[in-house]
Amino acid sequence: MGFVDKVQEIAEKVGDTVDKGIKTGSDGYKKMTEKSRLKKEVTRLTNEMNNIYIGVGKKIFAEQPDSQQFKTQFDNIREKEREIAHLNEMLNDLEDKTPCPQCGELVTKDARFCDKCGTRIVRPEKKAEHVEAEKVTVCKKCGAELVDAARFCDKCGAKLDI
């Protein structure tokens, strides 16, 4: 066996080893791909199932709101709803937004119409703060403000009816 034969034999062994490695790697890749696909499918089905559970729970909550069997859970849900509503109000205030009375979409507080449904937004008139005004006495002749306990106007000299 000559040198060329030995090189050819080594090359064949290396080729066989490479082929074997490629086949093993390819098999490993296929296996890894299949595992990933199966895990994604399990996750998708689990999410669908959890959404069904949520739907069932919402239906029971809506149809039997006073259920004694779920009283603790329902009370907890109601408390969370109140907290969410309060936090949303705080967010709306920070964003200067208010819900449309017709469709519930948020509109800016100075909007006259809802940009989603077109409903006219009627704002309650702001009540002026009641401030106790000091009693101010004015001169009937010239209208000048009078000093407390004055008997004559210090602007026009008119005698005051006290």
Q: 104-147, pLDDT tens digit by residue?
A: 899 998 888 999 999 998 877 666 555 555 566 788 888 888 77
φ/ψ bin of 86: left (φ > 0), alpha (ψ from -120 to 50), beta (otherwise) = alpha
The C-alpha atoms of residue 52 and residue 55 are separated, in whole angstroms, by 5
Asked if the structure places residue 83 within a domain, the reply is no
Placement of tokens 């399990």 in the chain: 42
Q: How many domains does the chain have?
A: 2
Residue at 109 is within a domain: no
Residue 15's identity, in one-letter code, is G
Last residue of a domain, one of 26, 47, 63: 63
* DSSP bridge pairs for 97: 108
The dihedrals phi and psi of 34, each to the nearest 5 degrees, come to: -65, -40
Q: What is the pTM of this model?
A: 0.48
In this predicted structure, what is the pLDDT of residue 3? 80
Is 71 a domain residue? no
Q: Which of 41, 63, 85 is the last residue of a domain?
A: 63
